[in-house]
Structure 1
Amino acid sequence: MIRISEFQVKDVVNVADGRRLGHIGDIDIDVATGKIQAVIIMKQGRMLGLFGKEEELVVPWKQIVKIGEDVILVRVQQTEFSQEEIQTTTFS
């Protein structure tokens, strides 16, 4: 079993291009089945999010390739980084 807090400290890396995407900020769970549907990766803006904004990238569970001790490998194609896929949230 793995805890959500253990997910949040792991780096998320895209195996399609080797880029570090960020850290998991949240998960999407289907309450009917109890299964994880997606992970939400927080990509920080300038100055640790204090003066910028954080962006979220939603990665469906089926795109997770491997969960290791220090890293989570995902397969996200370049086209999936389009503006429609990235949700922008501003924290105040």
Structure 2
Amino acid sequence: MRLSEMKQKEVINIKDCSRLGFVGDVDIDICTGRVTALIIPGPGCLWGFLGRESEYVIPWRDVKQIGDDIILVELCKKEQKG
């Protein structure tokens, strides 16, 4: 799956049914080429320029399912950076 396809999917936490937003970027292990985390711009971010410290970093191990329109993740709490 391409990053451009992931950016069109909304991320939802299945623990509390909260809508976290849309994928803004991914973290990739350059040695293996595998995705290690999804990065979701937090509230107030404008195309990744403003409010960068409030983004959500979701470890790949917490991604439970990728569907046609949404990505389901299982987080005990919102893992905000900063």
Q: TM-score category by the smaller chain?
A: 0.7 to 0.9
Q: Quick check: which has more Rg, 1 or 2?
A: 1
Q: 1:87 Cα shift? A: 2.5
Question: Which residue in 1 is equivalent to 2:51?
Answer: 53
Task: Say which structure is richer in strand.
Answer: 1
TM-score, structure 1 as length reference: 0.76
Matches within 5 A, 1:1-92: 2-45=1-44, 49=46, 53-54=51-52, 55-78=54-77, 81=78, 85-87=79-81
Moved over 3 A (4+): none
SS in 2 for 1:86: coil
Identity of aligned residues (%): 41
CA RMSD, aligned part only? Answer: 1.9
SS in 1 for 2:75: coil
Task: Say which structure is richer in helix.
Answer: 1
2:7 maps to amino acid: Q
For residues 49-76 of structure 1, the C-alpha deviation after alignment (integer angstroms, 9 at most, x for no partner) is: 39x7352111010100000000000001
TM-score, structure 2 as length reference: 0.84
Alignment size in residue pairs:
79
